[in-house]
Amino acid sequence: MSRNLSQYFSGVALKTLSAVEIDSSRSHQHEFQATAAMREFLGNPSEPLQFNATFMYLSDDEANSKVETSLLTLYNARKNKPNRAPEYRLYFRSNDSTDAAQSGDLLAICLKKNGQILVLIVERDSLAEYQVRQLFGQEPTTNPNKFEVSTGKELSNEQVSLPAKLILDSIGAGTEDNDESLISADLILDTFEEIPTGRVLSDFARSHAGFAIEDVSIDQALISWLEIEYETFQTLERRDISRRLQKGFVEPGNIDVDGFIQYSSSVINRRKSRAGKSLEYHLEHIFSTHNIIFASQEHTEGRSKPDFIFPGITQYFDDAFPASQLTFLGAKRTLKDRWRQILQEAARIPIKHLATVDTALTQPQIAEINEANVQLVVPTPIADIYPETATASFMDLSSFLKLVKDRQSTWL
C-alpha cells in the first residue's frame, strides 16, 4: 500500500513572497495573509490562535539554510470592526529564516497532522524550490502572489514514494503512521527482536518486495527495496528507542545527561551507517543476479577500498588488462562533500562512476562532480524529482548495468 500527503498534512498553501511581506525596508508587519481557502484547515477562531511552528529557510547552499522554532498566530485583524468582513492574518516574530527570505522566494505554510505548522521559505529558482513544488503537486501559476491551497482531497491525490519520504524527513515532516506501510509492523516486530545487521535488513526487504526482479526495471526494483528497508528500520528503531526511553536516564539522585547524549549519538550514527551500506548490499544483489563479475571492498592503492571494481581486483592489478575495460563504482546514499573521497581511489580508472539516491543535490554540486570526471548513477525514480537541466548528465542504473555487461562480454 502507498502513502499520500494527506497522512502528513491537513493543508498546505504555497505562494511567491512579495517585498511587502518580507522586506523589512518595505514593511514591518511580520504577517502573512490567511485566505478563506487557508482557513479551511487553519480555522476561523474568534480569539487569536497560536500554533507551534518550525520555520525553515531552504537553499541549494546548505550553509545558507536555517531552521528555528517559534510561534505563528492566526487572528482576525478586523475583530473590532463588526461592520466589515473578517480579515485573518498570520503573525510571526522575526527569526533567522524570515530574515534570510527575499522577494521572489517560495513560501509554503503547512499544517501537520499533529497540529503544528511548518513554514518553508525556499530560495527562488533553486532545485529546492523545484522539489517542494513537485512534492505538493503545485506548479508556478500566472498569479504567483496568490496562495494556492491544497486540503484533504488534493493532498490525498499526491502519492508519497521513497524520494518524497526522504524529502519529508529532511524538513521534519515524517510520520509514525503505519496504517499504509508496505509491510505490516506486526510482521516486522515479530521477525526481529532487535535491530539486525544491515545485510539481514536488506535481505528481508528483497524477500518481502512482492515482485520478481525480472518483472520490473532495475531502477524501480532498487528503490522499492530501499523503501521497504527504510520503513522496516524505522519500525524497529521506534521500538528500540521506546524501550530505552522507558528505562529512562535517571539514576538515584542524578540525571544521566551524558548517557542521554551518548545514546542520541548512537542513534544518529546507526542511521548513517545503515543507510550507507544498504545501497551497497542491494547493488551487490543486482550484480550477482545479472551474472556480473565484480570485486567489493578490495584494496587498490594504499588504504583505498573502492565499493566496486569491475571485473575484479585481479584484473585491476594486471597491467596487461586494458584500463578501458575496468569500471569503478562508488555507492553513497548521500553525497555532500564526501563524494570527493572516491577521487583518490583506484588510480588506474580515471573516470569514476558514483551511485547515489541523494535527493538534495544542487546544480553547482552536480557541475563540480561532472568536472571531476565522476559520472553520477542515479536510479530513475530519484532522478525524476530533479528538473531536466539537472539530470542531463545522470546515468540511470539500467544503463550502468548495460555498460559493465558490455565490457565484460569483450573479454569473458
Question: What is the DSSP pairing of strand 254-255 with strand 250-251?
Answer: antiparallel
Same domain, 117 and 71: yes
Check pLDDT > 90 for residue 3.
no
Instruction: Assign 41 a pLDDT band (cuts: 50, 70, 90).
Output: very high
Range of lowest pLDDT (180-184, 186-190, 243-247): 180-184
Angle (CA) 255-258-262 rounded to 5° is 130
Same domain, 133 and 49: yes
Q: Which domain holds residue 74?
A: 3-161
- State what percent of residues in the chain have pLDDT above 90: 56
Check pLDDT > 70 for residue 353.
yes
Same domain, 43 and 83: yes
Give the mean model confidence (pLDDT) for residues 59-71: 88
pLDDT of residue 314: 94
User: DSSP letters along 68-104, please?
Assistant: EEEEEEEEETTTT-TTS---EEEEE---HHHHH--TT
pLDDT of residue 1: 47
Range of lowest pLDDT (17-31, 97-111, 396-410): 17-31
Check pLDDT > 80 for residue 23.
no
Greater pLDDT, 180 or 366: 366
Instruction: Assign 339 a pLDDT band (cuts: 50, 70, 90).
Output: very high
Same domain, 103 and 233: no
Domain membership of residue 78 (yes or no) is yes
Instruction: Assign 288 a pLDDT band (cuts: 50, 70, 90).
Output: very high
Instruction: Assign 281 a pLDDT band (cuts: 50, 70, 90).
Output: very high
Q: Give dist(CA 98, CA 104) in Å, integer.
A: 13
Asked if 292 and 312 touch (Cβ cutoff 8 Å), the reply is: no
pLDDT of residue 31: 87
Cell, residue 92: 510571526
Domain membership of residue 176 (yes or no) is no
Same domain, 12 and 152: yes
Domain membership of residue 401 (yes or no) is yes
Same domain, 268 and 304: no
Q: Give dist(CA 355, CA 352) in Å, integer.
A: 10
Same domain, 250 and 145: no
Diameter over CA atoms, the chain: 90
Greater pLDDT, 23 or 112: 112
Q: Give dist(CA 107, CA 150) in Å, integer.
A: 14
Asked if 170 and 360 touch (Cβ cutoff 8 Å), the reply is: yes
Where among 276, 306, 331 does a domain terminate?
A: 276
Sheet holding 308-310, edge to edge: 295-296, 308-310, 327-331, 352-355, 374-377
Check pLDDT > 50 for residue 372.
yes
Domain membership of residue 22 (yes or no) is yes
Q: Give dist(CA 188, CA 182) in Å, integer.
A: 11
316 is known as an active-site residue: yes
Q: Give dist(CA 53, CA 110) in Å, integer.
A: 10
Mean pLDDT, the chain, whole residue set: 88
pLDDT tens readout for residues 112-121: 999 999 999 9
Greater pLDDT, 252 or 342: 342
Domain membership of residue 354 (yes or no) is yes
Is residue 238 classed exposed, middle or buried when 0-12, 13-18 and 19+ CB atoms within 10 A define those classes? middle
pLDDT of residue 318: 94
Length of the chain: 412
Residue 26 CA from chain centroid, whole number: 35
Same domain, 250 and 150: no
Asked if 279 and 331 touch (Cβ cutoff 8 Å), the reply is: yes
Q: Give dist(CA 57, CA 64) in Å, integer.
A: 8
pLDDT of residue 389: 87
Domain of 60, CATH number, reads: 2.40.330.10
Asked if 136 and 158 touch (Cβ cutoff 8 Å), the reply is: yes
pLDDT tens readout for residues 129-162: 999 998 888 776 657 778 999 998 889 888 888 8
Give the mean model confidence (pLDDT) for residues 222-244: 92
Catalogue the E-assigned strands of 293-382: 295-296, 308-310, 327-331, 352-355, 374-377
Domain membership of residue 288 (yes or no) is no
Expressed in angstroms, the distance from the first to the final Cα of the chain is 43
Domain membership of residue 134 (yes or no) is yes
Number of domains in the chain: 3
Where among 129, 161, 193 does a domain terminate?
A: 161
Same domain, 319 and 242: no
Same domain, 304 and 197: no
Check pLDDT > 70 for residue 219.
yes
pLDDT tens readout for residues 201-215: 999 999 999 888 888
Domain membership of residue 28 (yes or no) is yes
Instruction: Assign 122 a pLDDT band (cuts: 50, 70, 90).
Output: very high
pLDDT of residue 330: 96
pLDDT of residue 181: 62
Where among 248, 276, 304 does a domain terminate?
A: 276
Same domain, 33 and 132: yes
Given the residues 57, 230, 281, 316, select the one marked as catalytic.
316
Give per-residue burial for 296-334: e unless 16+ CB within 10 Å, then b.
Answer: bebebeeeeebbbbbbbbebbeeeebeeeebbbbbbbbb
Instruction: Assign 25 a pLDDT band (cuts: 50, 70, 90).
Output: low
pLDDT of residue 176: 53
Q: Give dist(CA 52, CA 272) in Å, integer.
A: 29
Same domain, 61 and 157: yes
Domain of 301, CATH number, reads: 3.40.91.80
pLDDT of residue 175: 63
